[in-house]
Amino acid sequence: MKKPLFLFSFLLIINFSFSQCPVPTGLFVTNITHNSVIANWTAVQGAHHYRIRIRELGAANWGNLLNIDSSMTSRLLPLLQPLTTYEWKIEAYCDSTNQQNSAWSVIDTFTTIAFVPAPFNPLLFYGMSSTLCNMHVSFSLRVMQSQNEPDIGTSEITSDGGSFDISSVSTGDTVGTAEIATSTDTIMTILTVGIITSSNNAIIYSIDTSGIVGFFTIENISGGGVKIISSSPPDNNNYTSGYNSLLIFNNLFVTPTSPGILRFTADIESELNDQFNMIDSSTVIFCNTGLNENTTEEKKLIKVVNILGKNSSKKKNTLLFYIYDDGKVEKQIIID
């Protein structure tokens, strides 16, 4: 005997309802800035992954954010515009083939805040492995910027003493390392000699596994002292999300032959034509007079800053930089 048609329809409705994935709920946003927010939702039981859609309020088309796995209940929504209202929604998938998807959630809205730039005020720190006169030493230069400062465009760092032993190296030689960290990425490179234009001038390449990622010039100044000149290519974004770079020259710098204060002068221009000038007189050169160099004097901690250059208290499981009165900067992370 034939079963009634309405019974088949009822069974189809039941099977369909069981195959659908539950709809995500509990939508809200946190950490609203001028160009990003963090979207949050309640975890969906049985979800394999999620998809988010976002658009400016009233726009015709949605943008998609993918690769959101089942362990996540929040996602950064980047590349937003200041003082703009957006709407977003999310769906869940309960399988890896994108077949068992939920309906879209209710729509949540938010408005980004105004962008407030920070003053152009880079921090510079100089360090040497020894301050005895007329010695080949490891020389370091750290430059730090806070979030939302204008990007550095060009910089010129000079000293009133010392020299680079350029005549001792050849093209292709490794002369140091560089580390560049932003709020989202860290790049480790080696410094190699690119082009030697004279015994007092050379172009240094910064190289990682992909090839040359940057370069700058080192120069010995007539009459004594050195100069480091660099220029950053435009990135269509005139403000930094936080910047921390460290250059280390391994035994390429020769300390002055006479004792006294070794001064470093920084002349830096931002991509927006801001000017920054600073003279650092914290390095003192000593010459060996037959007395042992005093290495027992305790250095004093000036401040502790995080990777963005902001003052920080001492924290566990966080990368911090300890800045001392002798110009040294120590990178520490205490694992709990």
Query: What is the DSSP secondary-structure string of 130-174?
Result: --BSS-EEEEEEEEEE-TTPBPEEEEEEEESS-EE-GGG--TT-E
Does 334 have pLDDT greater than 80?
no
Mean pLDDT along residues 82-88: 97
Q: Can you tell me the mean pLDDT for 79-85?
A: 95
CATH number for the segment(s) 123-289: 2.60.40
pLDDT for residue 59 is more than 80: yes
Give the tens place of pLDDT for each residue, 69-80. Answer: 999 999 999 999
Q: How many CA atoms lie within 13 A of 259 on its CB side?
A: 5
Nearest CA to 161 out of 73, 261, 19, 242 is that of: 261
Q: Which is more confidently placed, 296 or 230?
A: 230
CA angle 162, 250, 183 (to 5 degrees): 105
- pLDDT of 249 > 60? The answer is yes
Question: What are 264-282's pLDDT values in tens digits?
Answer: 999 999 999 999 999 999 9
Rounded average pLDDT over 44-73: 95
Over residues 105-127, the mean pLDDT reads 96
pLDDT of residue 9: 46
Domains 20-111 and 123-289 agree in fold? yes
Tell me what pLDDT residue 17 has: 43
Mean pLDDT (whole number) for 216-230: 96
In this prediction the pTM is: 0.66
**Protein fold of 20-111:** Immunoglobulin-like (2.60.40)
The average pLDDT across 240-256 equals 93
Give residue-wise pLDDT tens across range 146-199.
Answer: 989 999 999 999 999 999 999 999 999 999 999 988 777 888 999 999 999 999
Domain residue ranges of the chain, discontinuous segments joined by +: 20-111, 123-289
Q: Tell me whether residue 47 is exposed, middle or buried, using C-beta atoms within 10 angstroms of its C-beta: 0 to 12, 13 to 18, 19 or more.
A: buried
Tens digit of each residue's pLDDT (9 = 90 or more) over 3-41? 554 444 444 444 444 458 999 999 999 999 999 999 999
Distance CA(220)–CA(227), nearest Å, equals: 6
Strand order in the sheet with 301-305: 301-305, 320-324, 329-332
AA letter at 300: K
Nearest-CA neighbor of 183 among 250, 242, 118? 242
Contact of 315 with 295, CB cutoff 8 Å: no
